Copies of this chain bind each other. A is one copy, B any other.
Amino acid sequence: MRGEYNTRQKREMLKFLKDRSMQHFSVDDVVFDMQNQGEKIGRSTVYRYLEQLAEQGAVRKYQSVQGVTQYQHVEDAAACDGHFHMMCSKCGNLFHVDCRLMGALAKHLTEDHGFVLDPRETILVGLCEKCRDGGEGAEHGADTASECHHCV
């Protein structure tokens, strides 16, 4: 049965992801960054374990606009249940969108359009505040929580 053994590679990779829950990674990012930190890990292992974690719901898996698979650790699966995510097309950061209106939208789509929206798969795309204003782009891995100023 899969996922039975608790190996060094799994421990280190999970720790790596947990320590960077605000960031998202491609497989290459994980391999490269971990190896830069002196941790030895093979590419196949990263692919395989990331896939396992995604199945378990411990990481979110999605396609970037450029078509590269991205992964991000899900800090609290329960906390993520009720909300959606938004990706900035410029800086690439992923934001949590905690907002009642999203729930209302999901309900409405289900009841009046017949669509059952999947918050785990759906990613809203646009420009985040920093990239819109500064035009510089937020640094990669900046804090990515977004609370609604009005409706939380």
Contact = CB atoms under 8 A, between A and B. Distances in A.
Contacts of A128: 114-115
Given A65-B63, A65-B121, A116 B126 contact: yes
A142 interface: no
Given A113-B97, A148-B113, A149-B113, A89 B125 contact: no
A68 to B, nearest CB: 8
A58 to B, nearest CB: 18
Interface in A124-144: 124-129, 132
Nearest to A146: B113
A71 interface: no
Contacts of A81: none
Interface stretch (A10-18, A31-39, A104-112): A104-112
Contact of A116 (B63, B127, B151): B127
A69 interface: yes
A124 B116 CA distance: 10
B99 A149 contact: no
11 contacts: A63-B63, A65-B121, A97-B109, A97-B113, A105-B105, A108-B148, A108-B151, A113-B146, A113-B148, A115-B126, A122-B125
Interface of A: 63-65, 67, 69, 86, 89, 95, 97, 99, 101-102, 104-105, 108-109, 112-118, 121-129, 132, 146, 148-151
